[in-house]
């Protein structure tokens, strides 16, 4: 086996977004496209000679091919050992778990998360550092700078490895070990939660659950943990066979795309608890019987009930939420006497807080929740947390949520996604808002008066780094908010996200329909931003 140095030329579109580089599969299939980005990752790093690299992905189309390329390039660049999930599979939280457990130098995760898959679908790649979390901006910026001038990459001339057989193989001077994709993660979950108590809940004739893997990576993890270890019947799982095209579905666990689960939980003789996870296993949707739990409420409720879970009985150091996430967790933190940190969107911003011991639980409104057990959001972890709380409290999902509202008040909250908007139109909308924002404070719109308008900027309390232009916020004097952001997770056009929030302490109004409760604020958002006019859309693509 010899190392081959290949001459190449830069591509102009390899700037990583919120969660790495995401493009259509056909783009990644362009000669040297994948190789350029992988070599740029390695060239941005120092001190990895002889160290361990973790590699795995969500199993979508092109995953296996990309992994074979990465293994040969990692060997050519001097890594001493590579741990790769069997079949090339590692959920994103499992990859973080493996990186941390084996003190790896870092990891490469292949996923486009909740984006559609298949030959004509999306593909993605990101680098995670030794703490198990996504690379911070200083690393992704360095990677991008290298992609703009790269002239060659190194790859080992070798045949493909058998990714389906457990065990170690030599690839040049590098040891490649194919590991069980599920085992390490399952052991970590058993150390966090009261599995015996959850077993009793699942064994009860009065309790039924339904978990939807959306034909994505979480299926084998749900089978091992929920069925094999906790005793749930196999019938409790649906769509849990991973497919390269995710069953031609959109593996985003929300009320629109997880329609199979929604039909079950809102149907006749519905189960007591329902949950879904996404393409790479880091997101979750929680449902009760004919009842939806918003991700913001979920984070707040898990924080308020953390004392029921063995791993968190000693208390929480703090809570962290992304800026667009509702302020419901803030109220829990205040009652617990702990800090609640408001960060930009992107799990990498939680990493410093977790490493510094400032936060224990973290969450984003985009169906992501997690804790200090790994450095990624974790879908199945959230499901197990809810099951642990349900087992301890012996109440329904709806009863727990409504009791929480009675104690803390209800934050009516909704996100409106306008997907695939022309990028120029979307940028014009945001630019116009920035200009208007200067004069908005003090203005009245219907029953609401603007208190402030800003473009969110975050100063990391650990390392002092500053991240600016993270989303436009319009705050009203009664505490209501409207937030506008352009998402960095899509591959076509732009996704405009509108977040609307209003706090309601009056228990008598807690059963209002969310969209009805927020109707005036939604109209104000369109009035200020001219959403319909500038996007050409009469309504959002997805409302959650």
Q: Concatenated DSSP letters for 287-318?
A: EETTEEE-HHHHHHHHHHTGGGSGGGTT--SE
- Look up residue 528 and give its two tokens: 């200020």
Q: How far, in Å, CA of 29 to CA of 407, rounded?
A: 54
| Residue 212: strand, helix, or coil | strand
Which of these is catalytic: 19, 44, 91, 113? 113
Beta strands 273-277 and 209-212 are: parallel
CA distances from 271 to 266, 390, 427, 483 (A): 9, 14, 44, 35
- Using N-to-C axis directions, what is the helix angle for 183-192 and 92-101, rounded to 10°? 80
Q: How far, in Å, CA of 242 to CA of 91, rounded?
A: 11
Return phi, psi of residue 332, to 5°. Answer: -70, -45
Tokens 């001459």 -> residue: 7
CA distances from 14 to 11, 129, 278, 418, 494 (A): 6, 19, 24, 24, 16
SS3 content of the chain, % helix, strand, coil (to 5): 35, 25, 40
- Using N-to-C axis directions, what is the helix angle for 63-76 and 33-44, rounded to 10°? 40
Measured from the Cβ of residue 2, the count of other Cβ atoms closer than 10 Å reads 8
Q: How far, in Å, CA of 49 to CA of 46, rounded?
A: 8
- Look up residue 83 and give its two tokens: 């741990």
Helices marked H in 394-450: 397-408, 423-437
Q: What angle do CA 512, 518, 524 make, to 5 degrees?
A: 160
The reply to whether 91 belongs to the active site is no
- Look up residue 543 and give its two tokens: 């409302």
- Look up residue 232 and give its two tokens: 């749930």
Three-class HEC string of 157-172 = ECCCCCCCCCEEEEEC
Q: Concatenated DSSP letters for 185-198?
A: HHHHHHHHS-HHHH
Quick check: 60 and 181 in contact, CB under 8 A? Answer: no
Q: Which of 405, 388, 401 is nearest to 209 (CA)?
A: 388
- Look up residue 245 and give its two tokens: 């095209």
Active-site residue list: 113
């Amino acid at each position: 086996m010899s190392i081959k140095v290949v001459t190449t030329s830069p591509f102009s579109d390899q700037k990583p977004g919120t969660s790495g580089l995401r493009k259509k599969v056909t783009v990644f299939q362009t000669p040297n496209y994948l190789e350029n980005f992988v070599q740029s990752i390695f060239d941005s790093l120092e001190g990895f000679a002889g160290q361990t690299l973790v590699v795995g992905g969500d199993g979508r189309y092109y995953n296996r091919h990309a992994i074979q390329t990465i293994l040969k390039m990692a060997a050519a660049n001097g890594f001493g050992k590579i741990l790769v999930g069997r079949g090339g599979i590692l959920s994103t939280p499992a990859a973080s778990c493996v990186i941390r457990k084996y003190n790896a130098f870092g990891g490469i995760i292949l996923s486009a998360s909740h984006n559609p898959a298949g030959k004509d679908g999306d593909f993605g790649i990101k680098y995670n550092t030794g703490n198990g979390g996504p690379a911070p901006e200083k690393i992704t910026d360095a990677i991008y700078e290298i992609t703009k001038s790269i002239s060659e990459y190194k790859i080992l001339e070798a045949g493909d490895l058998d990714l389906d057989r457990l065990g170690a193989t030599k690839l040049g001077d590098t040891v490649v070990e194919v590991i069980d994709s599920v085992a390490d993660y399952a052991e970590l979950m058993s150390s966090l939660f009261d599995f015996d108590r959850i077993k009793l809940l699942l064994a009860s004739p009065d309790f039924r659950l339904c978990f939807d893997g959306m034909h994505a990576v979480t299926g084998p993890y749900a089978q091992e943990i929920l069925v094999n270890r906790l005793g749930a019947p196999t019938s409790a799982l649906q769509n849990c066979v991973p497919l390269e095209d995710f069953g031609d579905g959109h593996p985003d666990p929300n009320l629109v795309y997880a329609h199979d689960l929604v039909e079950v939980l809102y149907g006749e003789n519905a189960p007591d608890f329902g949950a879904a996870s996404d393409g790479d296993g880091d997101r979750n949707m929680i449902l009760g019987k004919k009842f939806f739990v918003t991700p913001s409420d979920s984070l707040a409720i898990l924080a308020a009930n953390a004392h029921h879970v063995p791993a968190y009985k000693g208390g929480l150091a703090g809570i962290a939420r992304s800026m667009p996430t509702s302020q419901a967790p803030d109220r829990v933190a205040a009652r617990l006497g702990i800090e609640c940190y408001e960060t930009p969107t992107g799990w990498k911003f939680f990493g410093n807080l977790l490493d510094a011991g400032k936060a224990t639980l973290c969450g984003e409104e985009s169906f992501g929740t997690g804790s200090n057990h790994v450095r990624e959001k974790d879908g199945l972890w959230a499901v197990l947390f809810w099951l642990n709380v349900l087992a301890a409290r012996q109440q329904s999902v709806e009863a727990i949520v409504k009791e929480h509202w009675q104690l803390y008040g209800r934050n009516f909250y909704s996100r409106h996604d306008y997907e695939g908007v022309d990028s120029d139109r979307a940028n014009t909308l945001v630019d116009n808002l920035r200009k208007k924002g200067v004069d908005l404070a003090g203005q009245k719109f219907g029953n609401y008066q603007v208190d402030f308008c800003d473009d969110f900027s975050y100063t990391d309390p650990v390392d002092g780094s500053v991240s600016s232009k993270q989303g436009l916020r319009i705050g009203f004097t009664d505490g209501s908010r409207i937030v506008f952001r352009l998402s960095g997770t899509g591959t076509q056009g732009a996704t405009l996200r509108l977040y609307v929030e209003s706090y309601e302490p009056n228990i008598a109004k807690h059963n209002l329909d969310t969209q009805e409760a927020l109707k005036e604020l939604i109209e104000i958002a369109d009035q200020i931003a001219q959403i319909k006019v500038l996007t050409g859309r009469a309504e959002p693509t997805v409302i959650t």
